[in-house]
Copies of this chain bind each other. A is one copy, B any other.
Amino acid sequence: MTSAHEAASPSEPLTIAQIAKRAGVSIATVSKVVNGRLDVAPETRNVVEELIRRHGYRRQKRAARPAPLVEVVFHELRGLYGIEILNGVNEVAGEHHLAAVVSELGGRHTPGRGWVEDVLARRPTGVISVFSHLADDQSAQLRSRGIPLVLLDPTGEPGHDAPSVGASNWNGGLAATRHLLELGHRRIAVVTGPAHMLSSRARLDGYRAAMDMAGVPVDPALVCVGDFQIEDGRRFTRELLRLDDPPTAVFACNDGEAVGVYQAAAEAGLRIPDDLSVVGFDDLPMTEWNIPPLTSVHQPLKEMAATAAGMIVTLANGEPLHRRRVEIATELVVRESTAPPR
């Protein structure tokens, strides 16, 4: 596993011995820091990490091989997302005798030791960060140890250093809205995710593009900024149904919000799709639980995760990636929650 270009730094990277000398500590201590070991005083660790950060660290050729593990780090392990992603990772990782380790970035940690030290101690072959944003120093710590990092559907800005895999969210938003327009809907509401999430903005922009192209003006009263929670779908739909000119269809930017739309419709005695059409986004296996089954934009989470795992394998072999940013197509799956307006 070589990735000298990744460890590039202004000066020549330092050897363990050089770091030890500059830090005024033993080589064994530097080695402990490099490997995320517990028994180093926090101040000492900071000095060593700072030297590695500034100058880089030249790994020894005879360094131990990484463990046959792919770290999959979630911001929060919740819902069926995680299962889809783990299955995708395992599909590719298994072929290479790698196993998936699951951790939570915000998980419980003893003081003085964070997520990244635990990862360094496990010496994984690579790290896949799922919907979560590693701090710059965490990324740098992985990079300095030559541990490849791939981001899955990053929510931050583009132009990040690490390779990444996403879904074509804009196209998905477009397809969902076009489907409703083609059924004859004009009063189409949208319940989005958080404004700071790129995936959410892209879905909303796809909605706007479809409306514009159909010559249907976007009514600001029908654009509701949510937080990808069931409760958002419920709350906003209650409000939308109280409008003088309520929507005949709702595009919920994830399946959870779509469930909230179902709940509000049931409360109001409205039938789906007769009285209100609903489109979701993600197409989690859970959509078969909905009555009627939900029309939704399929986000290929499993395929995205498998792709990320494949990128880890490539990088760990010291090979270059064909593309550092991969976007996998979304696809509208039409079920029974959409129909022409009355």
Taking a contact as CB atoms closer than 8 A, the residue among B102, B110, B289 that contacts A99 in the complex is B102
Taking a contact as CB atoms closer than 8 A, the residue among B79, B102, B121 that contacts A102 in the complex is B102
- Asked if A286 is at the interface (CB within 8 A of a chain B CB), the reply is yes
CA distance A113 to B94 in the complex (A): 11
Digit string of A79-117 for contact with B (CB within 8 Å is 1, else 0)?
A: 110110011001100110101111110011110010000
Residues in B whose Cβ lies below 8 Å from that of A77: 83, 86-87, 90
With A79-B80, A94-B108, A285-B79 already in contact, the answer to whether A121 and B291 are too (CB < 8 A) is no
CB distance from A83 to the nearest CB of B (A): 5
Taking a contact as CB atoms closer than 8 A, the residue among B67, B78, B289 that contacts A289 in the complex is B289
Taking a contact as CB atoms closer than 8 A, the residue among B87, B101, B108, B113 that contacts A100 in the complex is B101
- Asked if A170 is at the interface (CB within 8 A of a chain B CB), the reply is no
Interface stretch among A176-184, A258-266, A322-330? A258-266
Taking a contact as CB atoms closer than 8 A, the residue among B104, B285, B291 that contacts A90 in the complex is B104
Residues in B whose Cβ lies below 8 Å from that of A95: 108, 110
- B102 contacts A118, CB within 8 Å? no
Residues in B whose Cβ lies below 8 Å from that of A263: 291
CB distance from A256 to the nearest CB of B (A): 8
CA distance A90 to B82 in the complex (A): 14
- B291 contacts A266, CB within 8 Å? yes
How many copies of this chain does one complex carry?
Answer: 2
- Asked if A122 is at the interface (CB within 8 A of a chain B CB), the reply is yes
- Asked if A230 is at the interface (CB within 8 A of a chain B CB), the reply is yes
CA distance A104 to B102 in the complex (A): 14
- A69 contacts B290, CB within 8 Å? no
- Asked if A310 is at the interface (CB within 8 A of a chain B CB), the reply is no
Docked complex: A116-136 residues within 8 A CB-CB of B: 118, 121-122
Residues in B whose Cβ lies below 8 Å from that of A246: none
- Asked if A288 is at the interface (CB within 8 A of a chain B CB), the reply is yes
- A101 contacts B289, CB within 8 Å? no
- Asked if A68 is at the interface (CB within 8 A of a chain B CB), the reply is yes
CA distance A83 to B68 in the complex (A): 23
Taking a contact as CB atoms closer than 8 A, the residue among B68, B79, B94 that contacts A109 in the complex is B94
Which 5 interchain pairs have the tightest Cβ spacing? Answer: A99-B101, A94-B108, A100-B102, A266-B291, A259-B289
In the complex, besides A82-B82, A291-B291, 7 extra interface pairs with C-beta distance below 8 angstroms are A67-B67, A68-B122, A77-B87, A94-B108, A95-B108, A99-B103, A99-B118
Can you spell out 29 A-B residue pairs with CB atoms less than 8 angstroms apart? A38-B97, A67-B67, A67-B122, A68-B121, A69-B69, A69-B101, A71-B99, A77-B87, A77-B90, A79-B285, A80-B80, A82-B82, A82-B83, A83-B83, A90-B103, A90-B104, A91-B108, A94-B107, A94-B109, A97-B113, A99-B103, A99-B122, A100-B101, A100-B103, A101-B102, A102-B102, A259-B289, A262-B291, A289-B290
